Amino acid sequence: MNIIIVGIGKVGYAVAEQLSTEEHSVTIVDINDAPLADAEGELDVICVKGNGATSKTLLDAGVDDCDLLIALTGSDELNLMCCLIARNHGVNETIARVRNPEYHEEIGILQESLGLTMAVNPEYEAATEILRILTFPAAKNIDVFSRGKIDLVSFIAGRNCALINKPLRESLAKLGNRALACAVERDNKAFIPYGDSVIKEGDTVAFLAAPGDINPFFKNIGMPVTGIKNVMIIGGGRLARYLVGRLCALNMNVTVIELNRETAENLSYAFPNANIICGDGTNRSLLLEEGLRESDALCSLTGFDEENILLSLYAKSMAPKIKTITKVNRTNFLSVLTTLDVGSVIYPKHTTANLILQHVRARQNKIGSNIETLYKTFDNKVEALSFRVGENSSLRDKTLEELRIRKNVIIGCINRDGKVFIPHGKDDLRAGDSVVVVTTIQGLDDLDDIKG
C-alpha cells in the first residue's frame, strides 16, 4: 500500500517503522527537519518537509496515489484537517489521532462528518488497558478478543507457581481450567510452547482464557487474586483523566498527585469523588503521607519515563505486594527495563501502532479471512491475531488434526456463534468462525498464511 504519515513524533515513528518493515511504501510528512532526518537515516521511507494540512505539501507527498493517510501530529485539529484535505484529493481511507478528552464524546460525529476510517486515541486505549490489568492484579498485561469473550493474559511465573518445572500437558491437565498457554518469553527470547514444554521460574507466560476463568486459573497456580480497591496515580494528564472517571465508577478509592495546580484543580472539579493532591509525585514524604503503603496499586503516568520507572521501583521497595503500572513512551532500553521490577508496562504508542497495523493488514487479506484484532506482545516478538474464517478459505471445514500448520503458530481459541472454546484436534474451522492465532512469525495478514 502507498501510505502517507503526517507527523513523525514517537507514535508516528513507531507506525512508520512497522509499516515500512512490512514492505509498504511509506511517505512521512513533517514540518521539522530533525525528526525527518532521523527517519530518513533509519527507516526505508520517503520524507517530505511541509505542513501536512495543505494541498501543496500533500501533493508533493503523492496524495494522488495514496491508499491511506494517517495523521499523527500533536494537534487534534491539524490531524482532522489533514484527513479532510486528503479526502478532497480522493484518498478513501484516513486515520486521525484525536486525544482531547473534550472531543471524545463527539468522536462518532467527527468520524461520520469527515469520513474518517478510524480515530485513534492512545491515552484512552491505554486507560482501558490499565483498567483491565487492575481487574486481574496477577496479570502483567491483558489483551481482549472476541468482544471481551476471551483474553490473552501474561504473567511472570514465580517460584510458587504450580506450572514451573513440569510439562505443560501435565500441569494444565491437573488444573482443569479452560486455559491454553500459547506463548513464553525466556531470556528475552519468545517461543510458542507445546504439551511437552516446561515452564521455568521467571518465565513470562501468556495464556488464553475466558474472563471468568482468569482468577480461578491464577488461584489454582498459586498467583495472587486479591482485588484492587485503593489506587494511587502519579501524573494528572490525559491518560489519568480517562482512567480516574472509570475507576471512580467502579467505586475504587482513587488518589491523584499532580504537580501542575491548574491541572489538579480541573481534575478535582471533574472528579469530586477522587482525592486530588497538588504536589510533587516524586516527593517520598508526600507519597507516604498520602497512603502509598496502604495502596493496592500505583500507576506512574507522568510525562517522564525515568520518573515513572523510579516511582514504581520505589513503590515496590515500600510496599512489596503493591501492583505497579508504569507508562513508558520510549523503547530504546527495553532490554534493560525487562530486568527491573516495575510491574506492568504500558506503551501508548504501541497501542496506536497496533490498531493502525490491524487495519492495514485487514485491507490486504487475500480471500476474506479478515483480521479483526491484532496485538503485539513480548516486546513485539509475538503477535496475537483474530481472524474471521472466510467462505473461500482453504482451512474451512477441516479439523485441526488435518491442518498442516506452520511451526511457531498455535490456534488458541475459536468463537462460533458467540460461544468461545479452546479447540482440540477433532475440532474443525467453519465459515464465520472467529479464530485467535498466536505466533512468533511477523506479518500474517490472512488466516491461510498459517498453513505449512
Angle subtended at Cα 155 by Cα 151 and Cα 156, rounded to the nearest 5 degrees = 165
- Dump pLDDT digits (tens) for 322-364: 999 999 987 666 667 777 888 899 988 888 888 888 888 877 6
- What is the chain's length? 452
- Dump pLDDT digits (tens) for 406-420: 999 999 999 999 888
- Lookup: cell for 232: 494511587
Give helix then strand counts, H and E, for the chain: 15, 22
Closest CA to 321 of 223, 396, 408: 223
- Lookup: cell for 233: 496515580
- Dump pLDDT digits (tens) for 270-298: 999 999 999 999 999 999 999 999 999 99
Q: Is 432 helix (H, G, I), strand (E, B) or coil?
A: coil
Label residue 137 exposed, middle or buried (CB < 10 Å: 0-12, 13-18, 19+).
buried
Q: Which long-range contacts link 195-199 to residues 24+ away (Cβ below 8 Å)? A: 195/167, 195/168, 195/169, 196/167, 196/168, 196/169, 197/167, 197/168, 198/164, 198/165, 198/166, 198/167, 198/168, 199/157, 199/161, 199/163, 199/164, 199/165, 199/166, 199/168, 199/171
Q: Is 306 helix (H, G, I), strand (E, B) or coil?
A: helix
Predicted local distance difference test score (pLDDT) of residue 367? 46
pLDDT at 366 exceeding the cut of 70: no
Closest CA to 211 of 127, 126, 135, 323: 135
- Residues 53, 46: contact at Cβ < 8 Å? no
Q: How far is CA 119 from CA 25, 57, 75, 105, 375, in A?
A: 22, 22, 13, 12, 18
pTM: 0.87
**Domains of the chain, first to last:** 2-120 (3.40.50.720), 230-346 (3.40.50.720), 350-450 (3.30.70.1450)
235 φψ region: left (φ > 0), alpha (ψ -120 to 50), beta (else): left
CB atoms within 10 A of CB 185: 21
- Dump pLDDT digits (tens) for 294-313: 999 999 999 999 999 999 99
Q: Average pLDDT over the chain, rounded to whole? A: 90
Per cent of the chain over pLDDT 90 is: 62
**Average pLDDT for 354-381:** 77
- Dump pLDDT digits (tens) for 188-215: 899 999 889 999 999 999 999 988 889 8
pLDDT at 243 exceeding the cut of 60: yes
